[in-house]
Structure 1
Amino acid sequence: MLEDSVKKLKSPKASPGPALTKPQVDTAMALLADWVYESCGAVSMAAFSNPKVRSFFHQVGLPPFSPRDLAGPRLDSRFEDVRADSDVRIRDARFFQLASQGWKTTDSIITLAANLPNGTTVFRNSVFSHGGRMPSKYAEDVLWEAIADLCAGGPLHRCVGIVADRFKNKALRDLENRHQWMINLPCQLQAFRNLVKDFARDLPLFPSVTTNCSKLAIFFNSNSPARALLHKYQLQELDHSGLLRSPPLSEPAANFDPIMLQDVMANARPLQSVIHDDDYKVSCHDDSDAQQMAEIIRDMSFWNELEAAVSLVKLVNSMATEMEAERPLVGQCLPLWDELRSKVREWCSKFGVDQDFADKVLDKRFKKNYHPAWSAAYILDPLYLLKDTSGKYLPPFKYLSPEQEKDVDKLITRLVLREEAHIALMELMKWRSEGLDPLYAQAVQVKQLDPMTGKMRIANPQSSRLVWETYMSEFKSLGKVAARLIFLHATSSGFKCNTTMLRWATARGRSRAAMDRAQKMIFIAANAKLERRDFLNEEEKDAEIFFGSGAEDDVLNEAFVDASSVS
């Protein structure tokens, strides 16, 4: 009897929770299920078997349930509801653009979505890839099947085009060449990321900086006395210690790694302190490697070049990050590249880098990604009209090169019927000379403060297209081209699976039923996130919560001051 009493004291029976009505229970369970599905693997279904979780549900008045319920009929029902809603939204749209990402990695989920003219995106399907580089013909087949599915037996002309992060654009080009109404664009987010690799490969300062950073990392990670000294000064200066990022043993030391460069730069003060330590000075007499490391660290030109390299990578990556969040339209491509070109020239001036050399690298990447639709959308979008001395709002032809002007003519004639081509060009001439009524142009270009970001944004992003479809009825041929062009997205960024779901979905040996459940969860999660315009996955949000996004300390400049005072 005593033993039984002790057991009861150790695990007292939970008191029943508040009585809930059946509608309240049903609503709570539906919200719980949605949270699990929309987490897309970040929330473990098995965790609901935990006794503490079961006790919590009992306390709040929810009935016990099996985690298998979440992966069974409840998942099927929720998927059917979301699928029906997405079908209606796609069917009601006059046209759409297919967006596809995931082609860049060899073991991932390829996502397929539809960008609609009203500015929303509807997730459609995911394709699981299982390693190996996919041939261009496979990509072409996947994209075309997705278009046929989205058109649901209707005219294929409803698909205006594709934007994808395909590692080679052959599939996009082949589809566009065979279907003259299509505008197939490479993702500009991927182009900016590739530009970082271009600079690292072609600008002379990167190889020497990368090699020296590799030497420093390998030496301080492998030399016990030097590592101990570095950890000592890391704790003093940075309040934490650890190994420096170093290249994998299987890769050459000169291979570019932006994280390694940032790590060495962040450890500038500790490294400066190490070489002024008496114990390290003694080791330099007997160790030529230690002496070489000291020479690298004392060399101010190394730190200047390192700062320049890290600064350039940060410049391009910051624009790419903003692009991923903003998801610019195709008309913004030319201004974006002009903005990047201007910032790179400022960088060249600041760090004494040959501007012509940097321009050649940038222009080469620009030409690889350029599409005539960039110029045409820039000219046709009322958002970019400029007020001239007479008060008219005219398209910005003066900012196009002669070749880009020809691209506008060629693209417009390609997108209309052959018998309408001369009419479209005449309407383009009228648009060029008369532009848009000032009242409407000003209405389109009205901006307002975004309280979330503190930036000025276009008050009504849909007004550019709506003006063409309603007010400018006299442009019968050109208006149809403009309405189909200016809503196109320039990036394929959207829903991103977290690592858990990615690993689970791409694992070998999964049954067909298991893969079907994964597809349904991805479909529910993707559409929910796209509707909220929530483009971060849970891991990125956790990183923001744990580590924050505060301003970085200018440790490099402080290290320079300390070094100069010591010398």
Structure 2
Amino acid sequence: MSNANPTSEDAAANALNKRYEGLVALRTKAVKGKGAWYWAHFEPILIRNPDNNLPTSVKLKCTLCDSAFSASNPSRTASEHLKRGTCPNFSLMLKPISQLPPLSSPSSSQPNHRKRGSESQQTAGTSNSSPFGNEMSFLSPMPPVLSGGREDLRPLAQLEDSVKKLKSPKTLPIPVLSNKQVDRAFDLLADWFYESCGSVNFSSLEHPKFKAFLNHVGLPNALKSDFSCTRLDSKFVEARTESEARISDAAFFQVACDGWRNKSCGNGDKCLVKFIVNLPNGTRVFQRAVCSNGGRLPSQYVEEVMWETIRGVCGNNAQRCVGIVADKYKSKALKNLELQNNWMVNISCQLQGFFSLIRNFIRELPLFRTVTDKCLKIANLINYQSQIRKCFHKFRSQGLEFTGFIRVLPSKYAISKNLSPFIAMLEDILNCSRILHLVVLDDSYKAVCLEDGAREVADTIQDVGFWNNLEAAHSLLKLIMAMSKEIEAERPFVGQCLPLWEELRGKVKEWYTKYNLAEGPVEKIIESRFEKNYHPAWSAAFILDPLNLVRDGSGKYLPPFKYLTNEQEKDVDKLVTRLVPVDEAHIALMELMKWRSEGLDPLYAQAVQLKQWDAVTGKMKIANPQSSRLVWETCLKDFNSLGKVAVRLLFLHATSSGIKCDWSVTRWFCGQGHSRLDFERAQKLVFVAAQAKLERRGFSSAEEKDAELLGSMSGEDEMVNEVLALTSSM
């Protein structure tokens, strides 16, 4: 009994091999013209057991669509799969030219099998109707041979369609639109065109396909002159009138200018600097854009541009502008304007402050210098040593967690320009950590370890301390970048600056405790950057904002003076006295003492600090951000002098970022050789587009939206691939 099973298995295997060889012989004869027609489209395949390599079955594979069938009855399989139109490629290939779908049909690439089956039946019975006679019947093993190959079938079908149209022309009815509908349609088209702002050129309006589209939907051709002159002037006047009305309604405002520190703008490059007016009620109004050269600009020039913008908004009444927030740090323009106009509070952008902190860490913290040097050595060895690179790709192709190449930082200087390549290098090294450990243990790597560089890299990869430091550096960067992203989205007020930095200190303390690192160097860099960015208005707004009031034991809601240092308390006094007339300085200080001891009515304090759930961010947010200012204007009228300071401080934003323009906009706006008329047209177009973005709060650029869209599409593709892989393995 022990030999029965092997004997039966061998017999079955021999039978399958003979069956397979017989089918191969039949197909060989058929290909030479001595057998059935369907063998030109079927190929015998032998399926083997992966465990013992014994054959398990014989299949027929369709060479047109790669489908597999049982080989028990090839004639029946040919009738079911080919003649009845189940195979999409065969049914399309053997269709008469008169029945081929035209090129313009979007559904031609996805045939209906049931419909194709009936059409194939008709073709077999009416083959004489084909231009190729009996050669197009199902008894023909191959399609007709044309000088251009199979691809000639579609042009030939197109030719026949054209002949039919000439014999019996059928014109599609063009919709008839009223003048009002046409005007409305062009208004919507103009809105989209202007908001695209440089991404779509005026010449695109004269593109033949665009004109054909307009004619197809019943619209007249869009005139370039209409969009570049008449409609643009109308949109600009409308947007400008509305902006000026909003500014004139406000008692005071803040100017935000962004673009001085454009990371992609180097020496000699052009930058687009945008000026936006922040109003007390939370509204933002676009004011103007100027083109400037990149690199270091003279402080006097920046100061002149800012002051010119202020005078352009408020004319001779410059005291309506109570402050400026800009992304320029090293320039003295902000400080000079503040010294010349004592009522102004000019601060640097909080977001740029956090970015500068990251650069300080990379340049000054020994941890980053060590990690950067070792990561560069690893990346350069893997990318530029051919034998090691082949070993790296061998393990990568086995489906380990890293699927790309190691990106290398162009130079250490590049970190100061753009942080993205540096973060990408750290992430790539972390993502391929398993592969790197396998590479240094491979025999091919050991063969080149005689070189000092390879031996050093191997020691680095096998060093636990290196990976701890790498994770620590990457974690610190992600921590600050996450806070920066939140700052950009939330656009905090000046009164929230001190809490933000305190939150940063707390998170960094948890960070160096987690990775067992020394806290001294990190805290020193944070305090140095804090002192460079600090403005006395941070402390004053923090004290005067009812949002920060703290309840004491008696139930009073009092300002949080205990969280300030002695120097910061003095800054509050100095700023309050500077922002009021000289004869009211002592009154303002007395009111400040009263505010310190009495605070705000508990009921109103709780109303100001009321929070509600925000479904977009998934966090609790202040229900009414304007309450802090409104309380001083309504409930705290006894604080006459101090109230004037409070209402001007509490609405000030701490960030200047807002509208992001595409590179094409900057190139077009700052292009050389423009005439005066072209420049005015560019100014109007940028104004209309920027104001529209502010209205709908769409601050991201087209590139970022495209990246998000492509990212979501790639995620969907990955999900589809996973499903297909799962179904194919079942």
Tell me the TM-score normalised to structure 1 length: 0.91
* 1:65-84 matched pairs, under 5 angstroms: 65-84=222-241
Distance change >3 Å, CA 239–CA 411, structure 1 → 2: closer
Q: 1:184 aligns with which of 328, 346, 368?
A: 346
**Match of 2:359, as an amino acid?**
K
* 1:455-534 matched pairs, under 5 angstroms: 455-534=619-698
State the shift of 1:395 in Å.
0.8
* 1:86-101 matched pairs, under 5 angstroms: 86-101=243-258
State the shift of 1:5 in Å.
7.3
Contact persistence 1:220–1:244 (CA under 8 A): no
Aligned to 2:525: 361
Partner of 1:129: helix, strand, or coil?
strand
Q: 2:699 aligns with which of 530, 535, 547?
A: 535
Distance change >3 Å, CA 472–CA 210, structure 1 → 2: same
**Match of 1:77, as an amino acid?**
S
Hey, what's the Cα distance between the residues in 2 that align with 1:9 and 1:232? 59
Aligned to 2:368: 206
Hey, what's the Cα distance between the residues in 2 that align with 1:152 and 1:405? 35
* 1:39-78 matched pairs, under 5 angstroms: 39-78=196-235
Point out the more displaced range, 341-350 or 287-296.
287-296
State the shift of 1:290 in Å.
2.8
Point out the more displaced range, 449-458 or 142-151.
449-458
Aligned to 2:310: 147
Partner of 1:128: helix, strand, or coil?
strand
State the shift of 1:428 in Å.
0.8
State the shift of 1:534 in Å.
1.9
Q: Deviations over 1:122-146 (max 9, x none)?
A: 1100010134421000000000000
State the shift of 1:121 in Å.
1.1
Aligned to 1:316: 480
Contact persistence 2:359–2:415 (CA under 8 A): no
Distance change >3 Å, CA 295–CA 68, structure 1 → 2: farther
Contact persistence 1:203–1:357 (CA under 8 A): yes
Distance change >3 Å, CA 54–CA 474, structure 1 → 2: same
**Match of 2:627, as an amino acid?**
S
Contact persistence 2:659–2:693 (CA under 8 A): yes
State the shift of 1:367 in Å.
0.4
* 1:202-351 matched pairs, under 5 angstroms: 202-235=364-397, 236-238=399-401, 240-248=403-411, 257-285=422-450, 287-351=451-515
State the shift of 1:243 in Å.
4.7
Hey, what's the Cα distance between the residues in 2 that align with 1:175 and 1:371? 14
Q: Deviations over 1:32-90 (max 9, x none)?
A: 11112112223344444444433333333322213453323221221111111111111
Contact persistence 1:183–1:373 (CA under 8 A): yes
Hey, what's the Cα distance between the residues in 2 that align with 1:334 and 1:252? 28
Distance change >3 Å, CA 440–CA 21, structure 1 → 2: same
Contact persistence 1:169–1:186 (CA under 8 A): no
Contact persistence 2:323–2:346 (CA under 8 A): yes
**Match of 1:144, as an amino acid?**
W
Point out the more displaced range, 231-240 or 197-206.
231-240
State the shift of 1:334 in Å.
0.3
Aligned residues: 547
Hey, what's the Cα distance between the residues in 2 that align with 1:513 and 1:232? 61
Q: Deviations over 1:229-268 (max 9, x none)?
A: 3334344224743352232499799x98333222322332
User: Would you say 1:85 and 2:242 are equivalent positions?
Assistant: yes
Distance change >3 Å, CA 4–CA 111, structure 1 → 2: same
Aligned to 2:29: none
Distance change >3 Å, CA 315–CA 352, structure 1 → 2: same
- Rg: which structure is higher? 2
Contact persistence 2:232–2:684 (CA under 8 A): yes
Tell me, which stretches of 5 or more residues in structure 1 are unaligned? 552-567
Distance change >3 Å, CA 267–CA 75, structure 1 → 2: farther
Partner of 1:481: helix, strand, or coil?
helix
* 1:391-406 matched pairs, under 5 angstroms: 391-406=555-570
State the shift of 1:217 in Å.
2.0
Partner of 2:255: helix, strand, or coil?
strand
Q: 2:178 aligns with which of 4, 21, 32?
A: 21
Aligned to 2:356: 194
> Taking CA–CA contacts closer than 8 Å with sequence separation of 6 or more, which of the two structures ends up with the larger relative contact order?
1
Q: 1:426 aligns with which of 590, 600, 612?
A: 590
Contact persistence 1:205–1:309 (CA under 8 A): yes
Q: Deviations over 1:500-557 (max 9, x none)?
A: 2123323333333333222222211211112222221111111122124999xxxxxx
State the shift of 1:158 in Å.
0.2
Aligned to 1:562: none
State the superposition RMSD in angstroms. 2.6
Hey, what's the Cα distance between the residues in 2 that align with 1:167 and 1:436? 36
Tell me the TM-score normalised to structure 2 length: 0.71
**Match of 1:277, as an amino acid?**
D
**Match of 2:433, as an amino acid?**
A
State the shift of 1:177 in Å.
0.7
Hey, what's the Cα distance between the residues in 1 that align with 2:411 and 2:580? 54
Point out the more displaced range, 107-116 or 234-243.
234-243
Partner of 1:185: helix, strand, or coil?
strand
Distance change >3 Å, CA 14–CA 466, structure 1 → 2: farther
Hey, what's the Cα distance between the residues in 2 that align with 1:46 and 1:220? 48
State the shift of 1:8 in Å.
7.2
Hey, what's the Cα distance between the residues in 1 that align with 2:673 and 2:630? 50
User: Would you say 1:30 and 2:187 are equivalent positions?
Assistant: yes
Hey, what's the Cα distance between the residues in 1 that align with 2:619 and 2:294? 41
Partner of 1:104: helix, strand, or coil?
coil
State the shift of 1:189 in Å.
0.5
Aligned to 1:561: none
User: Would you say 1:122 and 2:279 are equivalent positions?
Assistant: no
Aligned to 1:445: 609
State the shift of 1:443 in Å.
1.1
Distance change >3 Å, CA 348–CA 14, structure 1 → 2: farther
Distance change >3 Å, CA 161–CA 292, structure 1 → 2: same
Q: Deviations over 1:149-168 (max 9, x none)?
A: 11033x11100010001131
State the shift of 1:4 in Å.
8.8
Aligned to 2:123: none
Distance change >3 Å, CA 194–CA 30, structure 1 → 2: same
Aligned to 1:555: none
Hey, what's the Cα distance between the residues in 2 that align with 1:116 and 1:464? 15
Partner of 2:200: helix, strand, or coil?
coil
Contact persistence 1:209–1:306 (CA under 8 A): yes
Partner of 1:237: helix, strand, or coil?
coil
Aligned to 1:373: 537
Hey, what's the Cα distance between the residues in 2 that align with 1:293 and 1:40? 50
